[in-house]
Amino acid sequence: MGKFQTYETAWCPGCGNFAILNSLKTALEELDKEPRDVLMVAGIGQAAKTPQYISANSFCGLHGRALPAAVAAKIANEKLTVIVDSGDGDSYGEGGNHFIHNIRRNVNITHFVHDNQIYGLTKGQASPTSKEGHVTPVQTSGSINVPLNPVLMAIAAGAGFVARGFSGDAKQLVTLMKEAILYPGYAFVDIMQPCISFNKINTFSYYKNTVRPLSEDYDPADKKAAILMAMEEEWIPTGILYREDKLDFHRKHKLLKEGKTLIKQEQNQNVLEDLIQSFI
């Protein structure tokens, strides 16, 4: 049966979250990870329920606040495999600020975003990635906001690993997830998926007709090419758009680069008294 078990969910039948959850389970199994060594972190949303449906350690926090908790856990215990698994509203809307600044820090965590271009938990209002003109029960005349391009933003902000997947291509998605988990730094994967209940535009058929894997001769080390690919509008490129080897947070930090986890650092029992004395 494997080490990782999945549990009954509250998702709608046909939701892309099922395929993403199964791909994640497969990726962790193929990497021979142990459930006790994996921490799944999320905020609020339908996609953010993912950590509750898989047999690993989990933390579900405030809306948009998954990244701070994940970063803190990884800094405290580098041995953990820390994965943020959440949605486009949680990661790019409420969590947009954390998204940008964790790219700058480059803490060694993996960030999977279920991007269905809608708020599924709160009944279908436009999300940061909804197209202009997208009519919803809230945006009754159509969204007037310019949609966010998360992969373009991530590349421009300096992320070392930026990829895009599709819930309907499990083989590619498992490979992308494994590569992202193994990447020594912040790894970001935007995963296109349908929301059958509230998004009647970006359907499974829509993705099947517009998603196309990157060619075998594509070079993910070419940043300019990656930016152009991220801006592609005629079709949706999937695969590793950009990859760059760079020092992660632990390797740059004076204390953490020694390889000792913070949970095992010697504790100064008089830290409060010493702090008070420093101000006298």
Please give the pLDDT value at position 276.
Answer: 80
DSSP letter (8 states) at residue 267: P
SS3 for 84? strand
185: left (phi over 0), alpha (psi -120 to 50) or beta: left
Q: Which residues contact 204 (CB under 8 A, 6 or more apart)?
A: 14, 16, 168, 194, 196
Please give the pLDDT value at position 50.
Answer: 95
Q: What does the alpha-carbon distance between residue 50 and residue 65 come to, in Å, rounded to a whole number?
A: 15
Please give the pLDDT value at position 261.
Answer: 64
Please give the pLDDT value at position 274.
Answer: 77
The highest-level CATH class for domain 16-278 is alpha beta
Q: What does the alpha-carbon distance between residue 220 and residue 240 come to, in Å, rounded to a whole number?
A: 6
Please give the pLDDT value at position 144.
Answer: 93
Instruction: Give me 227's structure tokens.
Output: 């930016």
**What percentage of the chain carries pLDDT values higher than 90?**
80
Please give the pLDDT value at position 278.
Answer: 82
What is the pTM assigned to this prediction?
0.91
Return averaged pLDDT per consecutive 10 residues of the chain, 280 residues in all: 87 95 97 97 94 95 94 93 96 93 96 95 89 88 93 98 98 98 98 94 95 97 97 96 96 82 63 77
**Per-residue pLDDT tens for 174-202?**
999 999 999 999 999 999 999 999 999 99
Q: What does the alpha-carbon distance between residue 115 and residue 121 come to, in Å, rounded to a whole number?
A: 13
Helix axes 170-182, 16-30, angle to 10 degrees: 50
